[in-house]
Amino acid sequence: MTKSVSFDLQTLNKSLDGDLYFDDLIKSIYATDASVYRRLPLAVAYPKHETDLKVLIAFANTNNITLIPRTAGTSLAGQCVGEGIVVDVSKHFTKIIAINKEAKTVTVQPGVVKDFLNLQLKPLGLFFSPDTSTSNRCMIGGMVGNNSCGITSIRYGVTRDKVLELKTILSDGSEAKFGNLTSDEFQEKLSLTNLEGDLYKTIYKELEPESVKKNIQKEFPKPEIHRRNTGYALDKLIDSSAFGASDKPFNMCNLLTGSEGTLAFTTEITLHLDDLPPTERVMVAAHFKSISDALVGTTTCMKHHLFMCEMMDKTILDCTKNNLKQQENRQFVVGDPQAILMNELRGHTIDEAKLQAQALVNALEVEGLSYANVVLYGDDIEKAIELRKAGLGLLGNIIGDRKSAACIEDTAVALPDFANYINEFTALMKGYKQEAVYYAHAGAGELHLRPILNLKLKEDVVLFRKITTDVAHLVKKYGGSMSGEHGDGIVRAEFIPLMIGEDNYGIVKRIKSVFDPKNIFNAGKIVDAFPMDEKLRYVANRKEPEIKTLMDFSATEGILRQAEKCNGSGDCRKPPELGGTMCPSYRATRNEKDATRARANALREFLTNSDQKNPFNHKELKEVLDLCLSCKACLNECPSTVDIASMKSEFLYQYQKVNGFSLRSKLFAYNNKVNELTTHISGITNFFFKTKWTSDLMKKAFGIAENRSMPLVSSKSLNNHIKGINNDGVSKKHIKTIYVFVDEFTNLLDTQIGLDAIALLQGLNYNLKFVKHAESGRAFISKGFLEQAKDCAVKNVKAYKDLITEDTPLVGIEPSAIFTFKDEYLMLADDKESAKQIAKHTFLIEDFLYSEIVKGNISSDQFHTEEKVIKIHSHCHQKAMSNQLSTFTILNLPKGYKATIIPSGCCGMAGSFGYEKEHYEVSMNVGEQTLFPAIRKATKDVVISANGTSCRHQIKDGTAREAQHPVSILRHALI
């Protein structure tokens, strides 16, 4: 970067009300999207309003640079990467401007999340219908840019069909609003003497000749293919009253939708809405012995007014066979099908939906190609859909350097051509020794398949181009669309001249040149495309660095490949209103830097390209990992299971080896040792903690947030209480012997909870065993003291390795502590086999009680019938490595108890995170998203349950309510 450009960026930053970043960290984070490409931007802008956008456009014109529009950055084809300024509107352009129920329209800014929009529309009986797999984080601006489709397109159409008006800023900084025009209104536009008028004149001049219209109709994808994103939609423009082809109004939105931000910058979008679909659903899962039979069957199915027609093949189904979470979801699968068509029908009554389903079953039976037609209702439909999603996730979650590459995964052909196309496609893949995997929007004639390639090797990069080129020619042969819904981006834009013909491509280029003469809008996409096999995430045949770690990352072939598992799908960006936990810090700040994806990108970037002796020694990594709460949600909710929490622990260890461990970090890491010393003088300790002036002094000295209360130490440890415990007084014949892990938090801070747990387990007739063991090491892990954590793991594995079996399980009370046995110990312990065996039979106490309820060893008759209403907040580690069902079930066991789960995500405390003064604001922001408001709404007689010691502390500080551990609640319900 030259000094003059750097100076210009400084000046530009001062001219914006929003933010502009051009440091190495932010640029590396935005160098990729969900594609295989890496292009380092000049800068990243977060504009606050339209004036900021106009400043950016003027700067781009003056300096001959390009602006890359971006919302959620989930594009698969490289639409959101480039060497110019990335303009991220996902933070500030997020308003729902107006809803017109009568007209069934909504006007939004481009940064509105699709599912969030539908959440607001639902009470009005309306929704925005395109239903993409990324709907809980993708944004309307991106959907318009890519002309998104999703599984409902066979019924409702695609995004282009719904866009009524677009308010834009053109390349000269002028504003233009595009919408429906009659032929007379179109003619009036031709008389304008500004850039907007030039646009209409150019389009009229280019598309008016009859020969041009005929050539467009000849070369563009067949009109019956409604999923089509190849180049600019010239075919949609000529199908209007302006060109005498129909009585449809002319609408420039047809051109802008799917243009990938290459023509104008959109600031407001007006959409047509649909009535909510009928609520009653039935699914017919048709089983086939061959792919070809399924494809023929698709034509039959599509005659039955389906809301969904999706196909999954044997490969996807087989991926779920040995997955314990998917066993229940597989219950509808009959035999060993080569393919299943999932056909959803809806009705206003269940009888209406059943009649439609029976008609489809009858038609399939007459056809005789399907060997089983399973009819699903209610939750079983969601289970089937979840099975399909899980299979795809497992298929894409490949360990090592070979990955599924998005390049030919978006082809669409006319339904009558689908079977022949797939036969040729399969033969083509076999020629490249690629096993075809069929998951398809079958009813739309769209096939999703990705070849498995190692793009770190030159030979596979060559194959990347060859496969894409051959498939492009095959698609053209059938008059199909190379891009059905994912867009051209970089990966497919090179093939646009082939797909629509050179003459039509010339028109596309000329239209682009009038809209954007200096190429300031998303250069390299659609027109004058970047080469599809250059600027990939990896440099081919480069010697990849070997990163030495203390934790064992061999399960993913090292920490670098663990980071590389992130494919950029952006699941970590879903807002709190849409459920889940990932990613708490992104939800608090709405900055890409604070998302799981950004952390993985930064780790990959800096570990790969480090010039340091210790490759972890980068302040940029410290910055990007700073707000990670180590909630472990990414281990469960990320489809690629990118374990950022473990990588953060390793980073902290490696970074602090070079730069030193702070006094505060030592205090938190060794808090158990400190508590052991102070428990003998707990009265004095707690006096200092509770007294404001002494507490304030300690907080100031150690960098603890002023408004944070301090945890009080128990006067007697649980270990001291245990010495007097006698199992024989309960029963001569116990149900089972269990080992209780006395974690450091329960031992010295929450002793009464430990006593409640012991009383509950004994009262339920279990024989309790206690052995001498080390602390869990959770505090050491969270602060990067991995040598000390390893020592804990080694000692605890040794203590339990000959004791823990299926018949004598290990049970723990504090989630963050007991789950170290099932998670980090597998990466820290030397005796891996013993660690694995212990992990198999280690349970959070609620999980253990739930399993015993299922076995019939615990029943509601053992508890009183007093009525209580309970609201449950579960620890993040429980959500990530187990589930909340166990807590829900045990607290609903007493007949008078009514417990419900707060959909709260992370509480925001996260061990020491919420204590640290620089993190306090984010910590409380996370709590305010869902948890605190839900608790404040609860009346005083409602019992708040939280099984994490940090969670209970956060709830007290945030709401002034005392939360109880589930075992304490249940213990007091014992008869």
Average pLDDT value for the chain:
94
Separation between Cα atoms, residue 94 and residue 106, nearest integer Å:
13
Q: What is the pLDDT of residue 2?
A: 41
559 phi and psi angles, rounded to 5 deg = -65, -35
H or E stretch covering 275 = strand 274-275
End-to-end CA distance of the chain: 75
For residue 313, pLDDT over 50 is answered with: yes
Mean pLDDT (whole number) for 158-163: 97
117 phi and psi angles, rounded to 5 deg = -60, -50
Q: Decide: 465 and 473 in contact? Cβ < 8 Å.
A: no
Count of residues for the chain? 975
Estimate the crossing angle of helix 832-840 against helix 786-800, to 10 degrees: 70
- The SS3 call for residue 98 is strand
Q: What is the pLDDT of residue 60?
A: 97
Q: What is the pLDDT of residue 640?
A: 86
Q: Per mean pLDDT, which range of 249-263, 473-487, 730-744 is the poorest?
A: 730-744
Q: What is the pLDDT of residue 764?
A: 97
For residue 246, pLDDT over 90 is answered with: no
Comparison of pLDDT for 597 and 316, the residue scoring more: 597
Q: How many CB atoms lie within 10 A of CB 872?
A: 23
Residue 727 — pLDDT band, cuts 50, 70, 90?
low
Separation between Cα atoms, residue 659 and residue 618, nearest integer Å:
10
Enter the pTM of the model: 0.94
Q: What is the pLDDT of residue 392?
A: 65
For 755-770, what is each residue's pLDDT tens digit? 999 999 999 999 999 9
Q: Decide: 237 and 243 in contact? Cβ < 8 Å.
A: yes
In Å, how far are 480, 500, 529, 693, 795 from 231, measured between CA atoms?
13, 8, 11, 68, 63
For 927-940, what is each residue's pLDDT tens digit? 999 999 999 999 99
Question: What percent of the chain stands above pLDDT 70?
Answer: 98
Residue 725 — pLDDT band, cuts 50, 70, 90?
confident
CA 452 distance to own-chain centroid: 22
Map 484-545 to HEC letters: CCCCCCCCCHHHHHHHHCHHHHHHHHHHHHHHCCCCCECCCCCCCCCCCCCCECCCCCCCCC
Q: What is the pLDDT of residue 530?
A: 97
For 900-920, what is each residue's pLDDT tens digit? 999 999 999 999 999 999 999
310 bridge partner residues: 342
**Any residues with CB less than 8 A from the CB of 687 and at least 6 apart, and which?**
694
For 451-492, what is each residue's pLDDT tens digit? 889 999 999 999 999 999 999 999 999 999 999 999 999 999
For 791-832, what is each residue's pLDDT tens digit? 999 999 999 999 999 999 999 999 999 999 999 999 999 999
Separation between Cα atoms, residue 909 and residue 52, nearest integer Å:
36
Q: What is the pLDDT of residue 449?
A: 81
- The SS3 call for residue 867 is coil
For residue 619, pLDDT over 80 is answered with: yes
Separation between Cα atoms, residue 664 and residue 658, nearest integer Å:
17
Separation between Cα atoms, residue 131 and residue 134, nearest integer Å:
8
Q: Per mean pLDDT, which range of 398-407, 630-639, 964-973 is the poorest?
A: 398-407
CA angle 547, 549, 555 (to 5 degrees): 90
Mean pLDDT (whole number) for 708-717: 92
For 868-891, what is each residue's pLDDT tens digit? 999 999 999 999 999 999 999 999
Separation between Cα atoms, residue 923 and residue 912, nearest integer Å:
10
Record the tokens describing residue 827, joined without a space.
């990466």
Residue 3 — pLDDT band, cuts 50, 70, 90?
very low
Strands 736-741 and 810-812: parallel
Residue 837 — pLDDT band, cuts 50, 70, 90?
very high
Q: What is the pLDDT of residue 800?
A: 98
Residue that the structure tokens 């998005």 belong to:
406
H or E stretch covering 285 = strand 280-288
**Among candidate residues 810, 793, 782, 811, the one with its CA nearest the CA of residue 915:** 782
DSSP state of 102: T
Separation between Cα atoms, residue 166 and residue 319, nearest integer Å:
43
Mean pLDDT (whole number) for 654-665: 96
In Å, how far are 52, 204, 385 from 391, measured between CA atoms?
44, 48, 10
Separation between Cα atoms, residue 379 and residue 585, nearest integer Å:
32
CA angle 222, 226, 228 (to 5 degrees): 75
**Any residues with CB less than 8 A from the CB of 710 and at least 6 apart, and which?**
689, 690, 695, 698, 699, 704
Map 550-574 to HEC letters: CCCCHHHCCHHHHHHCCCCCCHHHC
Separation between Cα atoms, residue 335 and residue 92, nearest integer Å:
52
